[in-house]
Chains A and B, each alone.
Chain A
Amino acid sequence: MRRIMSVLVENKAGVLARTSGLFARRGFNIESLAVGETEDPTVSRMTIVVNGDERMIEQVEKQLNKQIDVIKVKTLEIDTSTRRELVLIKINAAQQNRGEIIDICQIMKAKIVDMSHTTLTVELCDRPERCNLLLEMLTSYGVAELARTGMVALQKGSEAIALKK
């Protein structure tokens, strides 16, 4: 079972280490972790994608809530949240392949953001599964380098996570 956890934490030194350390210590598997400041500069949002059974997910949520620096934990459902990930892919693009690569990028609505005589760098900001699809389509040309941000997500609609525990 894959779950997205949106975790509001104090924006101060050591919090990321504490939180990620918790996952390692308790044997929880993180698929991705993205962190950044929120509308309130004293608060950061960690978006953590975890994989595990129901009991483990419940433990993750409880252990996160137990952390003094964690202000709020919310588990987001895939169909009721807006999810995005940014990928940058540097592809080996020989002259004869460029046309095909550009076609794929157009279909996937990916942008070509840099190029050299031998490579193209493609950017896509989309749902993680779309990012995976693009990557799959481009792998055969030879990926020279890949960078992914990990998923960030917000719940759909007007509801927001209140800053109270």
Chain B
Amino acid sequence: MMMTGAQAMVKCLEAERVSLLFGYPGAAICPFYDSLAESSIRHILPRNEQNAGHAASGYARMTGKPAVCVATSGPGATNLFTAIATAYMDSIPLVVITGQVSSELLGRDVFQEVDTTGAAEPFTKYSYLVKDAAEIPRVFKEAFYIASTGRKGPVLIDMPVDIQRQLLEFRYPEKVDIRGYKPCSKGHPMQIRRVAEAIKTAKRPLLCVGGGVFAAGAQDAVRTLCEQCSLPVVATMMGLGVLPTGHPLYIGMLGQSGSEAANRAVEQSDLLILIGARAGDRAVASPQTLEAMTTVVHIDIDAAEIGKNLGTTIPLVGDAARVAEQLVEQHPVGEWRKWLEWLEARRAEARRPDAPVKDGYIDPNAFIRLLSERMEDDAIYVSDVGENQIWSARNVRIRSGRFLTTGGMGTMGYALPASIGAKLAAPEKQVVTVCGDGAFQMAMMELATANQHHVPVKLVVMQNGCLGLVREIQQNQYRGREVAVCLDGSPDISGIAAAYGIPSARIRSMDEAEQAIDTLLDGERSFVLVCMVDPREGTGQEAAV
């Protein structure tokens, strides 16, 4: 069937069962938008391309499949870059489509031209610059395949506007064959046996779960592994929620922002099994010390992660779910009751009361515990970046729900657009967003997107009038000289919410918290809850930069 490149792009998306995409139109992508009018694919219009990318990220994290975002050439594409890089660091599958200037004008610096594929190269899993419309079906098929297999990530397709108008004979390929890309999913049987043997002989084994467990949809398999073998578990920030917070085998989050119990567990372990965790610097601050002290098993779908940050005794390449199942088959059980008792004691010690907060302010730690306890069991908690992220990661109670945040890039302004994406992917679930007043002002335009597309947003803004985490760094490492961290001049957040027609409340004490949370969570409607937080309230961590 003959059609234009633009029609073919839409047909490809339909063939990949895309029912919704996030985008922002512009001249160089207009043929595609024109063809989209003939399709039932729903288009969501975030108010900035960056937020289209973050929304797609939230959507992809809930569906487990590549989400699509679209922008025009030049500034449209460059605005998307922050979101692409964020997705790349967190291994989120995206198919990113950008318009491009006419192919015969490439390289002439014409209006809204930028070398999109060249500039995005360091933070895309792969990219295409399509120069012949006949390639569109193959390129799209490959893009979805590459984004969603192996270590997931964003794939970019740059589409010159003339190629979108070119005619082609459309046939969507059934199979993909890329000779340089054959991701394996099953763990090597010999390595599986080595790992099983290491577990059996360990005295103080510890499993460390990361975001890769979610990327592989391996939560159940990993939970079965740790329950059947009584393996205690710590999580990276991206791995929060693999086990429910209250699970008897769950010790806590490790790393710089993590719990003392979890970090002591890591120090004392004689066998550390990382699964879908890349031992990033925020999780493992001194890998050299750790690799010298303990036997490290590293399970990852990406062979390049193994040994990159942390020296590994037993490498095991494979899909987290498959490998966990293979390990369960080996039934690697040993004797470490004393170790579990010791861990339980450390966990009990860690339950210390919060330091009192000043009158007129909310205690962010207590508030987050209360909020997450009152949320539905399978609710999605989306946290932004900054102090709110650390308070959230430490205090959130996760049962069967999810905790979404950007662990790798730490991109401010992520939470609101990502939660809109997550809610669109899982409309039956409760989605709650937490951000600070800094990030709120980076993303508040998305309240319009929520309104336009009838996506209820339940937004908590922790307002302390400053860029709190940077302020902490300046306090701790720059002799307390505070520079450019004060957010004076900020608008009244309730007033902003009102301007978008969204009801809101502001609370200043924990006495008001319970009722305010119930109002926030009530029903399928948007609500903004502003929590006044003491600007001096910190996270108490030694911020390392």
Does residue B498 face the partner (Cβ distance < 8 Å to A)? no
- The stretch among A56-64, A86-94, A124-132 that forms the contact with chain B is A56-64
Known: A25-B122, A68-B126. A62 touches B303 (CB 8 A): yes
For residue B41, give the distance in angstroms from its CB to the closest CB of chain A.
27
Does residue B304 face the partner (Cβ distance < 8 Å to A)? yes
Does residue B129 face the partner (Cβ distance < 8 Å to A)? yes
Beta-carbon nearest neighbor of B118 in chain A: A17
What 0/1 pattern do residues 106 to 125 of B give for CB contact below 8 A with A?
Answer: 00000000000110011001
Chain B interface size band reads 20 to 34
For residue B328, give the distance in angstroms from its CB to the closest CB of chain A.
28
Q: Is the CB of B117 within 8 A of A71?
A: no
For residue B518, give the distance in angstroms from its CB to the closest CB of chain A.
49
**B306 partner residues in chain A, CB cutoff 8 A:** 62
| Distance between Cα atoms of A148 and B527 in the complex (Å) | 67
Beta-carbon nearest neighbor of A163 in chain B: B179
Q: Is the CB of B304 within 8 A of A62?
A: yes
Does residue A119 face the partner (Cβ distance < 8 Å to B)? no
**A25 partner residues in chain B, CB cutoff 8 A:** 122
Known: A17-B118, A68-B126. A10 touches B307 (CB 8 A): no
**A10 partner residues in chain B, CB cutoff 8 A:** 179-180
| Contact residues of B between 149 and 183, Cβ < 8 Å to A | 178-182
**A52 partner residues in chain B, CB cutoff 8 A:** none
**A69 partner residues in chain B, CB cutoff 8 A:** 180
For residue A129, give the distance in angstroms from its CB to the closest CB of chain B.
31
Q: Is the CB of A71 within 8 A of B302?
A: no
Q: Is the CB of B304 within 8 A of A165?
A: no
Q: Is the CB of B117 within 8 A of A14?
A: yes
Partner of A59, one of B121, B146, B182, B304: B304
**A65 partner residues in chain B, CB cutoff 8 A:** 303-304
| Contact residues of A between 1 and 37, Cβ < 8 Å to B | 9-10, 13-14, 17-18, 21, 25
Residues of B within 8 A of A (CB): 117-118, 121-122, 125-126, 129, 146, 178-182, 302-304, 306-308, 311
Residues of A within 8 A of B (CB): 9-10, 13-14, 17-18, 21, 25, 55, 58-59, 62-63, 65-71, 163-165
A and B contact pairs by CB, cutoff 8 A, 19 listed: A10-B180, A18-B121, A21-B122, A55-B307, A55-B311, A58-B307, A59-B304, A62-B303, A62-B304, A62-B306, A68-B126, A68-B178, A68-B180, A69-B180, A70-B180, A71-B179, A165-B180, A165-B181, A165-B182
- A14-B129, A62-B304, A66-B302 given; name 9 further pairs at CB < 8 Å: A9-B180, A10-B179, A55-B307, A58-B307, A66-B303, A68-B178, A68-B181, A163-B179, A165-B181
